[in-house]
A and B are shown apart, each in its own frame.
Chain A
Amino acid sequence: MSGDTIFREYRISDAERSDRSAGDRLRHRQKVRESIRENIADIIAEESIIGKNKDRVIKVPLRGIKEYRFVFGDNSPGASQGDGDSRPGQVVGKTGKDGPGKGDEAGDRPGVDYYETDVTLEELVEIMFEDLELPNLERRALREIQSDYSSRRKGYRKVGIRIRLDKRRTAKQRVMRMLASDKRNDAAARALEESKADREIGADADVEGALDEIALEEGALDGQPLDENALADSPGIAAFQRVRKRYPFHQNDLRYKHVEIDTKEESNAAVICIMDTSGSMDTMKKYLARSFFFLLYQFISTRYRNVEIVFIAHHTEASEVTEEEFFHKGESGGTFISSGYAKALEIIAARYHPSLWNLYAFHCSDGDNFDSDNPAALKDAEELAEICNLFGYGEIKPMGSRYYESSMLNVFRRIQAPNFHTVLIERKEDIWPSFKAFLAKDRVKEA
């Protein structure tokens, strides 16, 4: 028989100490984040993410977090146990999973390692904007507008302005002080009973008078008698005077109503998405535009409390539409870009006054505008740039097409406004870099 067996009792301190994986978990999470950040452009370019709501959990494929080893590939057969009547040809599982069930040794076959992680859209957006690395953007104060003003009573204070004096409380304080004072205790108690009725009525006038007195004789000591005649005609005090000398108010008796002022500061932003829905905008172009609008909306949402979004679709005429219609309804015909801008200006004038709203407008088009409309478009664009925090124009030209189609980029080059920015999007991969470039131009107008 070997030496004695040792039993070590469970101790709570052990359990606390045993969270020893904390450091390694932290490091792992850092790596996951790093990995997401490295692949952010690809992740954003994934169709599945665009247009999802905030709490939605997204599976993000990860690179670099998988632990690779030399393992056998698909042509290696395996063996396992059946339920009693396995026959050749029977299907027992799917490839890609580890064997029919799961293996004993984790990591000895590919596929057992999880290589996706779940993040919510919000987290992803957060990481995205970490990636922006635009510190000056972060530090800028939000433009806050005082949208609501209200005052409400909240407790009582010993100091305050005359108008908020609470006479009843002040009188009570005085009586309390009087009762507390030992010397006059008995007499005062008697007096109190006698004068109860008239004091209820008389206190207000009484205190008013006393206050004047205090104002005159600032600094009077506790219990020091004041000029008797001053208050002689007050009915409440008269009762006391019948018993003893008067017992005057003191600075410490005064009670003021306290009022708090609530201001609600709102930070409002409106994102105005303008898109060309003319016949030349195909699905791919719309998808690129949508990705851009999505990013813009997400970004604005992280920085303002109240964000509204407006969709304006235009061809030769513009109309405000729902999101669904905006992205899915195909229209045909030519393009007057100015119609979209005019509509935007109209909506802003009607609903989003620039002094109350931070306006972000973005326009996506393939640049195929009627030449005759260019001067009007230019004028309206300048006007929009004038009232918006940021106004952008994104020209979507899937690879190659930019060489034979007309472009608005040359026209808009004439706009001098510092918060106007044009981007050229040719592929999914361009979205993120051009978005970064776009935001770099953000400015907050002085209110």
Chain B
Amino acid sequence: MSATPHEGTSPRIATWDLRDLVEWDLKIRAKADEFGLDYYPQEFELCDHTGMLGYMAYSGMPSHYPHWSYGKSYEKLKTLYDHGVSGLPYEMVINSNPAIAYLMRDNSLLLHILTIAHVYGHNDFFKNNFTFKSATRAELTIESFKAAAMRVRRYVEDPSIGVEKVERILDAAHALSWQCRRNFAIKKLSPFEQMARAEDTAQGQADPFQKIHARKNIEVPDFHKVPLEPDEDLLLFIRDHNPFLADFEKDLLSIVDQEAKYFISMMETKIMNEGWASYWHKKILESLDLDQGLHLEFIVNHNQVCRPIPGQINPYHLGLKIWEDIYRRFTTPTKDEIKRDGPPAKSGMEKIFEVREVERDASFLRRYLTEDLMREMDIFEYEARGEELVVSKVADDEGWKEVKATLIKSVGTNSIPVLKVEDADFGQNRTLYVKHDHDGRDLHIEYAEKSLNYLQRLWGREVVLETVLDGKRSLLCCNDRGFSVRALK
């Protein structure tokens, strides 16, 4: 949650002390337990605005390896904050066990109560949602970030390595870090397992009627191909297949990859997670019997955080709307809904707890964002026409499905192009052949060129990227002679 500048309602004088927070925390936790939230132990840390800006620049991590991009990010945040363009978050929570949350000490008591309740919502989500459970080990989060930070610092301080060489790899690795697997619940097969699978596929099923069937032609798979199956983990693939990388370079690639994977889960569940936390802070605060002053302040702040923002998708608003709709449809469905979906098989509470465990944003929107909701929220699709962005479709009878598809394409990791390594020895030349899974959206060519340069830097040899540009299959090549685009047949 973040404060909007000039609209903040919180008085600047703190009228509470730590004992109040402990007391309210007990009440909130009692409610959370009563509602059945299941969370990690929680730690709160009070910080001021510089502290908060610092945490924001480093994604909330108490320790993080150094890189100039975080300095840049800090400067940017600070500039925006100083000029009143954006406010500071009321809190930040990180997915760890115990979960750590930072509270802004300048906030009013009510904001703290609201924030604490909100934090328990996130905490519950971290502990139970499958994307977090499959991607991260919460009890190791802090330690692994700290260990990575120490290793990078050591490389920087090592006279035989130094900051230039470290940055050379980190700059490139950062450019490619999101080019990794997105769904960690699907197991990645080792090369041997891939080989076994290829063999099985080639042999086919045992045929009980062998005698009467014509003999199937067994196509022998090419086991020399590297990788056997297209590989999405660009950084890890380079780490394992570029023999000229030094140990510290391989380690840097692992560090960047590990961190990216930690954040993929956050990215994949932004709408659900914020919606879930907002749903629970609302529910908890409504059940707390706040006195009138606090209650009014709560309503004002809640509405400010969870309001629709025309021209944007506010994940707090969208998420909260959908959670409330699910609960309503399973508790008090309308006649039409019963006719369409049948009577609900579960209670609303059971349903939302199930959904928070098994969905991520893309599937959450696909399954639970209904036509009625889209219409109510006036979600539209826009596209660029010349210099302008123009509404192309709205959520009406014909358009809503397409608008919804577009929305789903823009949430979580769907907003990042999928690139897969197809061949590490293309043309027997150790050229890296990467293919873009084109889904109708072209790559931004300038960004592609620069990122491909980084890829070449890490791979050390020519890299080619197959993609589609303006409807034509094209090959972007990057080698020592520079960057070129070739049309493919």
A residues whose Cβ falls under 8 Å from a Cβ of B: 1-10, 14-15, 18-21, 23-31, 65-96, 99-105, 108-110, 114
Chain A residues within an 8 Å CB radius of B178: 69-70
Contact indicator A81/B379 (Cβ below 8 Å):
yes
CB nearest neighbor in B for A73: B444
Contact indicator A69/B447 (Cβ below 8 Å):
yes
Least distance between A223 CB and chain B CB atoms (Å): 67
Least distance between A147 CB and chain B CB atoms (Å): 44
* CB < 8 Å neighbour of B312 from A21, A88, A101: A101
Chain B residues within an 8 Å CB radius of A69: 174-176, 178, 416, 447, 451
Q: A75-B441, A105-B267 are in contact. Are A94 and B45 (CB under 8 A)?
A: no
Contact indicator B311/A93 (Cβ below 8 Å):
yes
Complex CA distance for A82 and B399, rounded to whole angstroms? 15
Complex CA distance for A2 and B445, rounded to whole angstroms? 51
Least distance between B401 CB and chain A CB atoms (Å): 12
Chain A residues within an 8 Å CB radius of B410: 78-79
Q: A23-B66, A80-B380, A88-B391 are in contact. Are A28 and B71 (CB under 8 A)?
A: yes
Contact indicator A71/B416 (Cβ below 8 Å):
yes
CB nearest neighbor in A for B178: A69
Interface string of B155-167 (1 = CB under 8 A from A): 0000000010000
Contact indicator B174/A70 (Cβ below 8 Å):
no
CB of B133 within 8 Å of the partner chain: no
CB of B407 within 8 Å of the partner chain: yes
Chain A residues within an 8 Å CB radius of B22: 5, 7
Contact indicator A86/B378 (Cβ below 8 Å):
yes
Least distance between A17 CB and chain B CB atoms (Å): 9
CB nearest neighbor in A for B442: A73
Chain B residues within an 8 Å CB radius of A5: 22, 25, 29, 41-44
Least distance between A110 CB and chain B CB atoms (Å): 5
Contact indicator A94/B387 (Cβ below 8 Å):
yes
* CB < 8 Å neighbour of A10 from B71, B105, B419: B105
Least distance between A44 CB and chain B CB atoms (Å): 25
Chain B residues within an 8 Å CB radius of A29: 71
Complex CA distance for A411 and B74, rounded to whole angstroms? 58
Known contacts A7-B25, A20-B54; 9 additional CB pairs below 8 A are: A15-B50, A23-B66, A66-B450, A75-B383, A75-B384, A77-B383, A80-B380, A81-B314, A88-B393
Least distance between B453 CB and chain A CB atoms (Å): 8
Chain B residues within an 8 Å CB radius of A99: 311-312, 382, 389
* CB < 8 Å neighbour of A90 from B70, B312, B390: B390
Q: A7-B25, A92-B389 are in contact. Are A27 and B71 (CB under 8 A)?
A: yes
User: Which residues of B (19-41) have their CB < 8 Å from a CB of A?
Assistant: 21-22, 25, 29, 33, 39-41
Interface string of B287-317 (1 = CB under 8 A from A): 0000000000000000000001111111101
Chain B interface mostly helix, strand, loop or mixed?
Answer: mixed
Q: A6-B98, A76-B442, A104-B313 are in contact. Are A83 and B415 (CB under 8 A)?
A: no
Complex CA distance for A196 and B70, rounded to whole angstroms? 79
Contact indicator A71/B447 (Cβ below 8 Å):
yes
Count: A-B pairs, CB below 8 Å: 260
User: Which residues of B (401-426) have their CB < 8 Å from a CB of A?
Assistant: 403-404, 406-407, 409-410, 415-417, 419
Contact indicator B72/A95 (Cβ below 8 Å):
no
CB of B229 within 8 Å of the partner chain: no
Could you show 27 A-B contacts with beta carbons less than 8 Å apart?
A2-B40, A5-B29, A7-B46, A8-B43, A21-B71, A27-B71, A67-B174, A70-B448, A71-B416, A71-B447, A72-B415, A72-B442, A72-B444, A77-B383, A79-B381, A81-B312, A81-B378, A82-B380, A83-B310, A86-B380, A88-B394, A88-B399, A91-B388, A91-B391, A94-B388, A105-B270, A110-B446
Contact indicator A24/B444 (Cβ below 8 Å):
no
Contact indicator A84/B451 (Cβ below 8 Å):
no
Complex CA distance for A7 and B72, rounded to whole angstroms? 31
Complex CA distance for A86 and B394, rounded to whole angstroms? 7
Chain B residues within an 8 Å CB radius of A24: 57, 66-72, 74
Which residue, of B50, B76, B311, has the highest number of chain A Cβ atoms within 10 A? B311
CB of B18 within 8 Å of the partner chain: yes
Complex CA distance for A208 and B323, rounded to whole angstroms? 103
Complex CA distance for A2 and B318, rounded to whole angstroms? 30
Chain B residues within an 8 Å CB radius of A2: 39-42
CB of B169 within 8 Å of the partner chain: no
Contact indicator B442/A28 (Cβ below 8 Å):
no
CB of B58 within 8 Å of the partner chain: yes
Contact indicator B403/A79 (Cβ below 8 Å):
yes
Complex CA distance for A432 and B399, rounded to whole angstroms? 58
Complex CA distance for A5 and B407, rounded to whole angstroms? 38
Contact indicator B417/A81 (Cβ below 8 Å):
no
Least distance between B75 CB and chain A CB atoms (Å): 6
Least distance between B147 CB and chain A CB atoms (Å): 17
CB nearest neighbor in A for B40: A2
Contact indicator B50/A18 (Cβ below 8 Å):
yes
Contact indicator B415/A108 (Cβ below 8 Å):
yes
Chain A residues within an 8 Å CB radius of B387: 94-96
Contact indicator B389/A93 (Cβ below 8 Å):
yes
Complex CA distance for A19 and B446, rounded to whole angstroms? 35
Chain A residues within an 8 Å CB radius of B66: 23-24, 27
Contact indicator A101/B309 (Cβ below 8 Å):
yes
Complex CA distance for A110 and B417, rounded to whole angstroms? 13
CB nearest neighbor in A for B405: A79
Complex CA distance for A1 and B410, rounded to whole angstroms? 38
Complex CA distance for A77 and B384, rounded to whole angstroms? 7
CB nearest neighbor in B for A21: B74
Chain A residues within an 8 Å CB radius of B443: 70-73
Q: A5-B29, A28-B68, A92-B391 are in contact. Are A67 and B309 (CB under 8 A)?
A: no
